[in-house]
Amino acid sequence: MEEKIIESINERLRVIVLLLLQSRRPGFKNPSLREQILTLKDFGLRPREIGSILGRSNTYINKELFELRKVKRVKRSKHEKRKRRKK
How much is the mean pLDDT over the chain? Answer: 84
| More confident position, 10 or 1 | 10
Burial of 47 (0-12, 13-18, 19+ CB in 10 A): buried
**pTM of the full structure:** 0.67
Summarize pLDDT for 26-43 with one digit per residue, the tens: 777 778 889 889 988 988
| Domain span holding position 28 | 2-86
The pLDDT of residue 86: 66
Q: Within its chain, how far is the Cα of 70 from the centroid?
A: 14
Q: State how many domains the chain has.
A: 1
